Amino acid sequence: MRINKHPILGKLDRKEICITYNGSDYQAYEGETIAAALLANHIRVLRYSEKGKKPRGIYCGIGHCYECRVTVDDERSVRACVTVVQDKMKIRSQGMYANEI
């Protein structure tokens, strides 16, 4: 999903770091958001809705709609689209279990 070459913006040259999502390791680039890093790894489902437990992913991409809430290093409901990845960051999806709010 990475756009490594772009006719106007040129080559992609960024430093690689490692993040985990639901216990698995993934490659990410320094400076990008959690939402971008996960999408680059083909991950679109970020949480399940409170009502009906339906899958949700990014929607607005600018921190307004709160659809992309994830748990980051034990902090709940962090917006994946406005939070930058850090090396060894542990990210988990929310709403997978019936008793979870």
Partner 1 sequence: MPMKYDLVIIGAGPAGMGAAIIAASHGASVALVDENPVPGGKLRGQVYKEPKANWWIGQEIARNMEKEIKQLGVTCFLEREVWAIYPKWKIMLNNGEQLESDYVVLATGAIEKPIPIPGWTTPGVMAIGAAQVMANIHRVKPGNRVAIIGIDALSLTIAYDLKMAGVDVVGIYLPPFNEFSLDKSNPLKMIAYLSSLSHLAPNPILKLLGKLGKQASVQKLGVNYYPPFGMRVWGIPLHLRKAVVQILGDELVEAIKVTTIDRSGELETKQEKRIPVDCVCISGGLYPLVELANVAGCAFVYVEDLGGHIPLYSDEMETTQSGIFVAGNSTGVEGAKVAMAQGELVGAIISNRLGLLKHGTELIKQAKEKVNVARKNAVIKFHPTIESGREKVLHLWNEKAVK
Return residues touching partner 1 (CB under 8 A). Answer: 1-4, 6-9, 12, 31-33, 35-36, 39-40, 44-46, 49, 54-65, 67, 81-84
The residue (of 29 and 71) whose beta carbon lies closer to partner 1 is 29
The residue (of 44 and 88) whose beta carbon lies closer to partner 1 is 44
**Distance in Å, CB of 46 to partner 1, minimum:** 7
CA distance 81 to 58: 7
CA distance 83 to 66: 12
